[in-house]
Amino acid sequence: MPPAVAEAGLVGIEGLGVGSVRDWCALLKPRVVTLVVFTGAVGMLVAPGHLHPLLAAITVLCIAVGAGAAGAINMWYDRDIDAVMRRTASRPIPAGRIAPQEALSFGVLLAGASVVVLALATNLAAAAMLAVSILYYTIVYTAWLKRRTAQNIVIGGAAGAFPPLIGWLAVTGHLAPLPILLCAIVFFWTPPHFWALSLFAHADYARAGVPMLPVTAGARSTRRHVFFYTVLLGLLSLAPWWLGYAGRLYGITAAALAAVFLYHAVRVLADSQDTAGVSLTRDLPAKACFKYSISYLFILFTALAVDRLIG
Amino acid sequence: MPEPLDHLTRAQTQSVTRARKARNYAILAVLVGVCGLFYALAIVKLGGH
């Protein structure tokens, strides 16, 4: 019995499409939403100008609901491959706790509501950007790229990079170089983050027929890609400081974070492996790199927000 | 109206009923929240922000 069902006391009803409140929340991919909301909030914090605290809270809520809605639509579309991947088999739709059509309706309803409320609370530009990010994630990434190309994470990564732009637009109503830089940082952070994950979850992806880089190009090539993108990310993370959009606090933090990320990427590259490139250490360096990549983005964006607030 | 649960065991029926009730309360909470949100939004917007 899936743990969520057991914990909710829902004995023996898996497969009946009667999900608990927890299942409906799980459809919104809360862990992914946390990072999205955080980068969106930082985009709002570093923007020049003032937004009423309630409108700022509504903006954060709309970004969270919009991202969650995209996650729900993604789970509806990917229910067939989720069912064969160990990591995702217990999700509410493949486990039969929520009916696919209900999940789709839930996602579409929340997506529409988040865009409309954001337009009412802030401006059309922010709402349009939220709509673009939802459509990009569901159509461009989920329906088009994910099952077709190993570059799915690179191009599709843009979907997760939109929140800083949405946050900035909510405050100012127009774009500027800094939010575009933040967007680029998240864009270049996504490949090493997901490829590190796919190095130790490639069997799942292979079983589901998802052409992740380790499946199509092999682990050795993926490790080189992780290293290459980490170098690019490190340089890009320093750009706000070089270009004068952030102060010394941010610059020093970004340099230190990039150095540690590079250390992890080198460990991934130098991991003991057999002739086929398969890790002999159960991909421990890749797991450490994946874990660190999450902290990297949180600390980097926090440093930028603090730097702008005290600077 | 809830679907007939004749084919389920008593324990399953109780579980289904409990899940539906929890979901209905959650929907009620969301609806109240949305009403509050629109009210607060209107107040702030009418205040000139």
| pLDDT tens digits, A190-199 | 999 999 999 9
- CA A180 to chain B, closest CA, distance in angstroms equals 26
pLDDT above 70 (res B2): no
Q: Does the pLDDT value for residue A10 go beyond 50?
A: no
Among partner residues A20, A55, A120, which is closest to B19 by beta-carbon distance? Answer: A20
User: Is A9 near chain B, with CB under 8 Å?
Assistant: yes
A chain contacts of residue B8, beta-carbon cutoff 8 Å: 13, 16
* Inter-chain touch B11–A21, beta carbons under 8 Å: no
Q: What Rg, from alpha-carbon coordinates, does chain B have?
A: 19
Residue A191: CB atoms within 10 Å: 24
Looking at A148, A175, A202, which one is the last position of a domain?
A: A175
Residues A55, B49: C-beta atoms closer than 8 Å: yes
pLDDT score at A17: 65
Contact predicate A99/A65, CB 8 Å: no
Asked if residue A158 and residue A29 are part of one domain, the reply reads yes
The verdict on a CB contact (< 8 Å) between A21 and B49 is no
Q: Are A179 and A56 in contact (CB under 8 A)?
A: no
Residues A272 and A154 in one domain: no
For residue B41, which residues of chain A lie inside 8 Å, CB to CB?
54-55, 58, 117, 120-121
Q: What is the mean pLDDT of residues A298-308?
A: 96
Number of domains forming the structure of chain A: 2
- When CB atoms are compared, the residue of A16, A21, A52 closest to B16 is A16
A16 interfaces chain B, CB cutoff of 8 Å: yes
- Give the span between the Cα atoms of A123 and A48, in whole angstroms: 16
My answer on whether A106 and A86 are in the same domain is yes
A179 touches chain B (CB under 8 A): no
pLDDT of residue A2: 44
Comparing CB atoms, the residue among B16, B20, B49 nearest residue A52 is B49
Please judge whether B19 and A120 are an interchain contact, meaning their C-beta atoms are less than 8 angstroms apart: no
Q: Are residues A16 and A164 in the same domain?
A: yes
If asked whether residues A180 and A279 sit together in one domain, one would say yes
Instruction: Confirm or reject contact between A24 and chain B (CB < 8 A).
Output: yes
- Same-domain status, A185 and A170: no
A138, A224: one domain: no
Q: Tell me the domain boundaries of chain B.
A: 7-49
Residue A111's domain comprises: 1-175
Q: Which residues in chain B have Cβ-Cβ distances shorter than 8 Å to A8?
A: 19, 22
Q: pLDDT tier at A16 (50, 70, 90 boundaries)?
A: low
Q: Are residues A116 and A214 in the same domain?
A: no
Identify the closest residue of chain B to A106 by CA–CA distance.
B27
CB contact, 8 Å: A8 with chain B? yes
Among left, alpha and beta (phi > 0; psi -120 to 50; other), residue A47 is beta
Lowest mean pLDDT among A17-26, A61-70, A115-124, A301-310: A17-26
**Are A195 and A160 part of one and the same domain?**
no
Helix axes A163-172, A100-121, angle to 10 degrees: 30
3-state SS record for chain A: CCHHHHHCCCCCCCCCCCCCHHHHHHCCCHHHHHHHHHHHHHHHHCCCCCCCHHHHHHHHHHHHHHHHHHHHHHHHHCHHHHHHCCCCCCCCCCCCCCCHHHHHHHHHHHHHHHHHHHHHHCCHHHHHHHHHHHHHHHHHHHHHHCCCCCCHHHHHCHHHHCHHHHHHHHHHCCCCHHHHHHHHHHHHHHHHHHHHHHHHHHHHHHHHCCCCHHHHCCHHHHHHHHHHHHHHHHHHHHHHHHCCCCCHHHHHHHHHHHHHHHHHHHHHHCCCECCCCCECCCCHHHHHHHHHHHHHHHHHHHHHHHHHHHC
Q: Give residue-wise pLDDT tens across range A39-67.
A: 999 999 999 999 999 999 999 999 999 99
- Res A4: pLDDT: 43
Question: What CATH number should be reported for the domain holding residue A25?
Answer: 1.10.357.140
| Boundary of a domain, candidates A175, A209, A231 | A175
Same domain? For A98 and A239 the reply is: no
Q: What's the ipTM?
A: 0.80
Domain boundary among A154, A175, A196: A175
Helix (H) or strand (E) holding B41, with range, is: helix B10-46
Residue in chain A closest to B24 (alpha carbons) equals: A21
Please list, in sequence order, all residues whose beta carbon lies within 8 angstroms of the beta carbon of residue B24, skipping any fewer than 6 positions away: none
CB contact under 8 A, A9 and B40: no
Residue with tokens 């329906």: A143
> By the 8 A CB rule, do A248 and A240 touch?
no
**How far is the C-alpha of A68 from the C-alpha of A73, rounded, in Å?**
9
Task: Indicate the average pLDDT of chain A.
Answer: 92
Q: Looking at the structure, do residues A165 and A221 belong to the same domain, yes or no? A: no
